[in-house]
Amino acid sequence: MNQDRIDVLRAVPLAAFQHVINGRRVCASDGGAMSVISPVDGTVLTTMARGTREDTDAAIAAARQAFDSGIWSDVAPAVRKKILLNWADLIEANALELAVLGVRENGTEIGMALKAEPLSAAATIRYYAEAVDKLFGEVAPTDPAFLGLVHREPAGVVGAIVPWNFPLMIGAWKFGPALAAGCTMVLKPAETASLGLVRLAELALEAGMPAGVFNVVTGEGAVVGARIAESMDVDVLVFTGSGSTGRRLLEAAARSNLKRVYLELGGKSPNIVFADAPDLDEAARVSAHGIFRNSGQVCIAGSRLLVERRIHEEFVEKLAFHAASIKVGNPLDTATQSGAVNSERQLRQNLQFVEEARGQGRKVIGGQRILEETGGFYMSPAIVADAAREDRVFQEEVFGPVLAVTAFDTEAEAVALANDSKYGLAAAIWTSNLSRAHRMVRKIRAGLVHVNTYGGSDLTIPLGGVKQSGNGHDKSLHAFDKYLDLKTAWIKL
């Protein structure tokens, strides 16, 4: 990365951002504009359209018309593939611009943002574009007097509501397979991370995507998101975010057309370190980065560290050393390893968890607001070294750089602590014992279990949760299951 180029892009003034509906940039009908506050320095970055019910209905109508017309759903898969690959090329060509735009809006450190946002989105679109002309129907092995055919057809209009931590990456996990499958889409970004997705929609049009296929409506979840959820013309709803919002989306789907709803609702992921871990220092380093990069604002973050008691003190010391070595600062500086917290509200919530732990007499390392003079929202990594299983910091998702560390004595106790959560998104095990690793993978209730690593899984494997972490899967070929319907043809010969 070129710091001089980044400095030029960060200084570019931004015009007001509009919706992208039916192939056009559209101002809010009567909702006015919302200020975009940069977490880097607390200043107003630009404004974006405050979407209304009418704006959302217009986007849904455009997606419905585009789907029903067959302009996207009925073309040969190779046609969709070509346009999607063009789109991926444009995203990659504009990757640094997109990354800097996103960092200015949501605070992710530029080194992570470039790789995890535009470059990841481009790779995801390519993955599903390449796969779409390799999906086949089935011929049933039945009575030879009949022919049983199973067709895979696009499900229709997809509504997608995506979060602010990695909007391009998580957005692409949803619109990549949906659009490749032939669906059309209305996407609602988070209020504090919309600009990059608006820009992606503009690039989609430049790549040749027909009007109405991919629409983006910015605004408040209680208005735009709620309208998508209650619409009778949305066939599938996909969401990444909080459990409370997920419940409201399910209720809205039940009250409307019983649309299918797929939810990824975060986690409180256990990261379990046994005394026989292959390399304790490496485990401590990776564990620190597994919770403190991007200011802890990662769905699968290893926010509960379970450490075998006989190495607990030593491991916490190693962990604290690696946490202290993480450079927290301006996310547009290439030397920064952990950037800004997304918003002042999120920062206050993070600090509240830390102060509560201190008030309970827990040993807390770090966890202060820092760099206040910048006007931005920054926090040093926080380690609660002796969290108990009944503590709120052990049970609740903070979504910030706050790590709860708890000691255990036996493998059975580690399993019990790991599963003592309403969530089940991710987990990790550090051990040299292969048999133990396999036992733990089976016993831990989580959709993704790492062994002797944390994070970094690629597109070839699915990501999804159990329990209150949600249902359905992003990533891998399994993601197509959400966006394709099975249709049986039973033919008498």
Instruction: Write out the two tokens for 391.
Output: 């503590």
At 438, phi and psi to the nearest 5? -65, -40
Q: Are 218 and 182 in contact (CB under 8 A)?
A: no
Residue recorded with tokens 């109508």: 61
176: closest CA among 125, 132, 210? 125
Catalytic residue among 191, 264, 308, 397: 264
Active site annotation includes 105: no
Using the 8-state DSSP alphabet, how is residue 186 labeled? E
Q: Are 57 and 76 in contact (CB under 8 A)?
A: no
Print the SS3 string covering 44-113: EEEEEECCCHHHHHHHHHHHHHHHHHCCCCCCCHHHHHHHHHHHHHHHHHCHHHHHHHHHHHHCCCHHHH
Q: Are 337 and 111 in contact (CB under 8 A)?
A: yes
Q: Which class for 42: exposed (0-12), middle (13-18), buried (19 or more C-beta within 10 A)?
A: middle
CA angle 135, 140, 146 (to 5 degrees): 130
Mark out the alpha helices in 402-476 (DSSP H runs): 411-419, 434-443
* CA 449 – CA 447 distance, rounded (Å): 7
Q: Characterize the bridge pairing of strands 304-308 and 402-408.
A: parallel
Which residues have CB under 8 Å from 139's CB, separation 6+?
Answer: 147, 148, 149, 150
- DSSP for 150-179, written as a single string: EEEEE--EEEEE--SSSHHHHHHHHHHHHH
If one counts every other C-beta atom within 10 angstroms of the C-beta of residue 35, the result is: 11
Instruction: Please report the sign of the dihedral spanned by the C-alpha atoms of residue 383, residue 386, residue 392, residue 395.
Output: positive
Instruction: Write out the two tokens for 234.
Output: 């949305």
CA distances from 251 to 92, 160, 259, 467 (A): 38, 16, 11, 18
Residue recorded with tokens 């040749």: 208
**Strand order through the sheet with 270-273:** 364-366, 382-384, 402-408, 304-308, 270-273, 426-430, 448-451
Catalytic residues: 264
